[in-house]
Amino acid sequence: MGRLDGQVAIVTGGGSGIGRATALMLAAEGARVVVAGRRKPPLEAVVKEIEKAGGRAAARQADVAAPAPGLIGGAPYGAAKAGVLNLMGHVHAVLRDKGIRATTIMPAEVDTPILEKRPLPPDAKARATMMQPEDVASAVLLCVTLPKRTVIEEIIMSPTTPRDQSADIEAARRIGEPGSATR
């Protein structure tokens, strides 16, 4: 019997990286998982993984925003994350009396496939210092398996040893300059 038997979990960005790891962990604990994201094939692959392990899942394609290049995610990414923090605070305040808990998890760099889209993708040495998707998924699992009387409203996660990102910032800054390669 899993700690999440009878529960439904909706995992956004569930086709890869942190979302995929989270969906797999939650399903292993008995949750019925809805994986949502932009690309249908990766979502369907995660559903198959969950079902192969004996879990229940469904895929839902959803694109909530158009990506925009910037300095390692830049201002648009930061603004979006601030919006998520505000939204989760609202969800918690309005729905907690209905047994719905909302947690905002704010991870620093995580070694996920999206890093390949950066102007200067991190090399293996840099990736070795980063958090892994399973690290963040473990935090999600902690939050959803606490007694119903307890909620963790925010978690800020960072690698133990931060890496020097000055070369990444400089590469991102040069996007669009004459003679620069753009992604």
CA distances from 78 to 52, 108, 140, 166 (A): 37, 12, 21, 18
Closest CA to 137 of 21, 5, 32: 21
Stated pTM of the model: 0.81
Decide: 183 and 115 in contact? Cβ < 8 Å: no
CATH topology of domain 8-162: Rossmann fold (3.40.50)
What's the N-to-C CA distance of the chain in angstroms? 47
Two structure tokens written together for 38: 């932009």
pLDDT digits (tens, 9 = 90+) for 57-114: 999 998 755 444 755 556 677 788 888 889 989 999 999 999 888 999 999 999 999 8
Two structure tokens written together for 76: 């648009």
CA 42, 58, 27, 81 torsion: positive or negative?
A: positive
